[in-house]
Amino acid sequence: MKCEICQQRAATLHLTNYINGKKTEVHLCPQCAKENGNLDSNEEQYTIHDLLTGLFHNYSNSTAKTTETKHNEQTCPRCHMTYQQFSQTGKFGCSQCYQTFSDYLDPIFKRVHGGNTKHIGKIPNRQHVHLRHKRLIQDYRDQLQQLIIEERFEDAAKVRDKIKELEQKSESSHEQGDEI
């Protein structure tokens, strides 16, 4: 059902008014309801941190009570942030916290980042050469598959050689003890 005022958004609020014994029904979206004074809302005051900490609590509530005490005791070995502090501030204390609290992160990331949990963007140039190679090899493999489907075997052979070359490179850099 569409909102009666804007005719665009979905009507999620259904209000029934009785005026002089006469019953009227209106179907509105939250925005229009607010503009018309049908909805008294303090949403504006709600900050991203309130929302985030809300997510943590939702998650704790949905997990079994027995694990509750367990995560409350959990502490990051590096910065000494406790799970409780983490869920209250909605912030990590250090890079190690990502491992310490890893069990609870995916649901949070999914909600904040539209269902995503894995980074596919930039990789540092100097420190993570190995990862860059890995990403590149994966791209070439996808390309290779496509070329085989299109029966462009000569091009496919070239791409396969590139993959081999990269694999050798990253193996040798591995042996030299490059950072992973």
Partner 1 sequence: MSLQSFIDKAISPWMQEEGPDHDIVLSTRLRLARNFTDVPFPLMAEDEKLKIVTNWIKEHFNHQSFEQYKNLEYFAMEDLQPLEKQVLVEKHLISPFLVERQKESGVLLSKNEQVSLMVNEEDHIRLQLYFPGLQLDRALEEAFKFDDWLEEKIDYAFDEDHGYLTSCPTNVGTGLRASVMMHLPALTLTGKVRKMIPAINQLGLVVRGIYGEGSEAAGNIYQISNQVTLGRTEQDIIDDLHSVVEQLIDQERYAREFLVEKSGLRLEDRIFRSYGILKYSRIIESKEAAKCLSDLRLAIDIGYIKNLSTAILSELMVLTQPGFLQQYAQETLTPEQRDIKRAMIIRERLRLEDK
The footprint of partner 1 (CB under 8 A) covers 6, 8-9, 29, 31, 35, 44, 48, 52, 78-81, 89-95, 98, 105, 108-109, 112-128, 131
For 157-167, b where at least 16 C-beta lie within 10 A, e where not — what string? eebbeebeebe
Q: Which residues pair with 82 in a beta bridge?
A: 75
Residue with Cβ nearer partner 1 (30 or 155): 30
Smallest separation (angstroms) from partner 1 to the CB of 47 = 11
Residue with Cβ nearer partner 1 (105 or 137): 105
Smallest separation (angstroms) from partner 1 to the CB of 79 = 4
Residue with Cβ nearer partner 1 (108 or 156): 108
CA 72 to CA 174: how far, in whole Å? 39
CA 141 to CA 134: how far, in whole Å? 11
Using CA atoms of 24, 28, 32, 38 in order, give the dihedral in degrees to the nearest 10: 50
Smallest separation (angstroms) from partner 1 to the CB of 129 = 12
Residue with Cβ nearer partner 1 (91 or 158): 91
Question: Where would I find the beta strands (DSSP E) of the chain?
Answer: 13-19, 22-28
Smallest separation (angstroms) from partner 1 to the CB of 134 = 8
